Amino acid sequence: MSGRQDLDRLRNELVDQLRAAGVVCSGRVEQALRSVPRHLFAPDIDPEQAYRDKALITKWAADGRPISSASQPRVMAVMLEQLQVHDGQRVLEIGTGTGYNAALLADLVGQTGQVITVDIDDDLVEQARHHLATAHITRVNVVCADGATGWPAGAPYDRIMLTVGAWDIAPAWVNQLTVDGRLVLPLSLRGAQCCVAFQRTGEYLTSVAIAPCGFMPLRGQMTNPQSILPLGDQSGLFLYFEGQRTLDTAALYTALHAPAELLATGIRVSATEVFDGLALWLALHQPDLAQLAAIGPATQRSMVPPLLSCPSNIGTGVLLDEQALAALVRLNQHGDNHDWSTTFELGVRAFGAGGDHLAHQLRAAVHQWHANGRPATAGLRIRAYPPGHPTDEQSVAIIDKHYCRLVLNWPPQPHYHST
């Protein structure tokens, strides 16, 4: 069991790493991360684990998918930097979870500010209140509600932050912002998820910062319309995609076990480039792209092809038809795949009859991303208009949601990489 001083040291080491990596840039966010004891927000987990840069899962659905956690510190830091909280502000968080991020927000708003945080599950709300009290953090009001409607009683807010994945932008989140307020949320862009910081400009929102992320989806009224199909019986493999498709999941599961054709791409990448660029490019340019994800024990089995697992995320982009699929894989993988910077060659593996055709399509899309200068997520610009808003802007994609029209632009990148 670690003593308090050991835990303080581990916490400071984690913040040092995030600072050195350029994830934490402001003194305010640094101070908040140094002062809030994360281990008090996940008391059932070994306290040393709280100071690794990992999400701590705290609640699961019956099918094994995680539905609550203390999010990964790196991602919290990115979002808090995007949020740019000032002293005395009123902040609404949607997705209380353990209460840890609400505690960071309380530090950022200072003595004169206020934080309201909502969670859809009353057991989580009770636990978060308890964690906050244990950490002696006041000025946080924890309420049980569906965050789809924000929390009108406390509006307007200078800042609204979701720590749970959204497919759409609820009107309440925009309406409850002050006129120049800022909304930060993990937003699904055709299946790729990005933390987007939006500034309100009249009736529309303009992105001011974008980074890749991977949050569990909202439940309740704003449930993500994404389909999630398990493959096999309790295998831990899931397919995620937008819209409806006719798929023979038994045939796809069998195909994943059979010998598969492998196409090399000749392109070397790091996990960072995949997670922070290629994944979004493929989602925007291949609207039929789906995700094959491994959860729990499935991540350990060799049956799962060496998918493009990133340190925080075991899953890969796939093109599918009813009985076949093509998946991005790592080639020549040696050693640790929990490293963001080591490069490896990308390959495409074809599973099932007809998978080779899909594999060629996927490989061509990877080559296109490379030929366009390997755009990274941060270069993307998004405007969110009311639905049906006429637009003659040039765009790489227009994505129509129920409550908004997203217009996306990705200016060309300044330089090209070599393979």
Answer for which of 72, 82, 89, 98 binds ligand SAM (CB under 6 A) is 98
Answer yes or no whether residue 185 interacts with ligand SAM by CB under 6 A.
Answer: no
Q: Phi and psi at residue 21, in whole multiples of 5°? A: -80, -5
Give the CA angle between residues 278, 280, 286 to the nearest 5°. Answer: 90
Nearer to ligand SAM, 132 or 289 (CB): 132
Closest Cα partner for 344 from 264, 256, 289, 262?
264
Pick the stretch among 93-101, 260-268, 350-358, 410-418 that binds ligand SAM (CB under 6 A): 93-101
Closest Cα partner for 120 from 223, 267, 40, 262?
223
Catalytic pick among 26, 68, 312, 341 = 68
Pick the stretch among 219-227, 241-249, 363-371, 372-380 that binds ligand SAM (CB under 6 A): 219-227
Answer yes or no whether residue 236 interacts with ligand SAM by CB under 6 A.
Answer: no
Nearer to ligand SAM, 127 or 265 (CB): 127
Answer yes or no whether residue 148 interacts with ligand SAM by CB under 6 A.
Answer: yes
In terms of DSSP bridges, do strands 90-94 and 157-162 run parallel, antiparallel, or are they unpaired?
parallel
Asked if 235 contacts 298 with a C-beta cutoff of 8 angstroms, the reply is: yes
CB proximity list for 277: less than 8 A, separation 6 or greater: 369, 374, 375, 376, 377
Rounded to whole angstroms, the Cα distance separating 260 from 355 reads 9
DSSP secondary structure letter of residue 274: I
Nearer to ligand SAM, 217 or 355 (CB): 217
| Binding track over 199-218 against ligand SAM, x by CB under 6 A | ----------------xx-x
Answer yes or no whether residue 95 interacts with ligand SAM by CB under 6 A.
Answer: yes
Answer yes or no whether residue 189 interacts with ligand SAM by CB under 6 A.
Answer: no
Rounded to whole angstroms, the Cα distance separating 80 from 373 reads 29
Answer for which of 37, 47, 73, 97 binds ligand SAM (CB under 6 A) is 97
Nearer to ligand SAM, 72 or 265 (CB): 72
Segment (H or E) for 74: helix 73-83
Answer yes or no whether residue 387 interacts with ligand SAM by CB under 6 A.
Answer: no
Answer for which of 100, 167, 238, 240 binds ligand SAM (CB under 6 A) is 100
Cα within 13 Å of Cα(354), Cβ side: 9
- Closest distance to ligand SAM from the beta carbon of 168 (Å): 12
Distance of CA 219 to the CA centre of its chain: 15
Closest Cα partner for 227 from 245, 251, 215, 248?
245
Residues in the chain: 419
Q: Is 188 a catalytic residue?
A: no
Output the six-digit token pair for 91: 């902040």
Answer for which of 23, 29, 69, 92 binds ligand SAM (CB under 6 A) is 69
Answer for which of 89, 163, 286, 309 binds ligand SAM (CB under 6 A) is 163
Answer yes or no whether residue 147 interacts with ligand SAM by CB under 6 A.
Answer: yes
Answer yes or no whether residue 119 interacts with ligand SAM by CB under 6 A.
Answer: yes
Answer for which of 139, 219, 268, 360 binds ligand SAM (CB under 6 A) is 219
Rounded to whole angstroms, the Cα distance separating 66 from 64 reads 6
- Closest distance to ligand SAM from the beta carbon of 201 (Å): 26
CB proximity list for 418: less than 8 A, separation 6 or greater: none
Cα distances (Å, whole numbers) of residue 368 to 76, 326, 372 = 32, 17, 6
Answer for which of 24, 51, 68, 281 binds ligand SAM (CB under 6 A) is 68
- Closest distance to ligand SAM from the beta carbon of 224 (Å): 10
Give the binding site for ligand SAM (CB under 6 A).
67-71, 94-95, 97-98, 100-101, 118-121, 124, 146-148, 163-164, 215-216, 218-220, 222
Q: What residues are labeled active site?
A: 68
